[in-house]
Amino acid sequence: MGQRNRLQYIILGLLNQHPQTGYDLAKAFENEIGEFWQAQHSQIYPMLKRLEAAGEISHEDTVTGEKLAKKKYTLTSAGREKLVTWVSQPSPELTPSKDEFILKLYFIKTANDPRIQPMLREQYQLHQSQLHHLQQRQETVFPNQKAIDQAYGHYLILDHAIERESHYVEWLAQYLEK
């Protein structure tokens, strides 16, 4: 299933949480969803039109301020049914990650290549920073067991991301020159 096909389910899932504007949906890709899936405005807005044309979402025009009209999207029963069906289906394929650093490493021939240590240091710093960010998000979004219980899948994803980054940092550290 292509990224564009999955985007429809992400939007349906986000709207299942509560009605949102296109802007709100785009912001979700900067925070929680953005930790594991990317989408741009140029993908989100056309998908909203398609989902609405298919009867899976609807919108209500709202006015904020004096003149700013916004469309607030809501999931329809058809959209909810489609989301439930998709979530219930198996996910039998592994999606390859697109990691430019790993791709570059593939083309390094020897352990004494002068580019390796700067690359490792840069990635170590980036992944340390990402790990810190994720840990902060976990503390903010899930301050107690009640918050975890109310969004358990989200908690699992964040916990997975923390584990992934922790492992990545450990892996980089073992190849960094001391």
Tell me: pLDDT of 147 over 60. Answer: yes
Tell me: pLDDT of 3 over 60. Answer: no
68 band by pLDDT with thresholds 50, 70 and 90: confident
Fold classification of 6-88 (topology level): Arc Repressor Mutant, subunit A (1.10.10)
Tell me: pLDDT of 21 over 70. Answer: yes
178 band by pLDDT with thresholds 50, 70 and 90: low
As given in the structure block, the two tokens for residue 6 are: 């999955």
Tell me: pLDDT of 134 over 70. Answer: yes
Tell me: pLDDT of 97 over 60. Answer: yes
Nearest to 7 by CA among 122, 169, 137, 34: 34
Instruction: Give the residue, 175 or 177, on which the prediction is more confident.
Output: 175
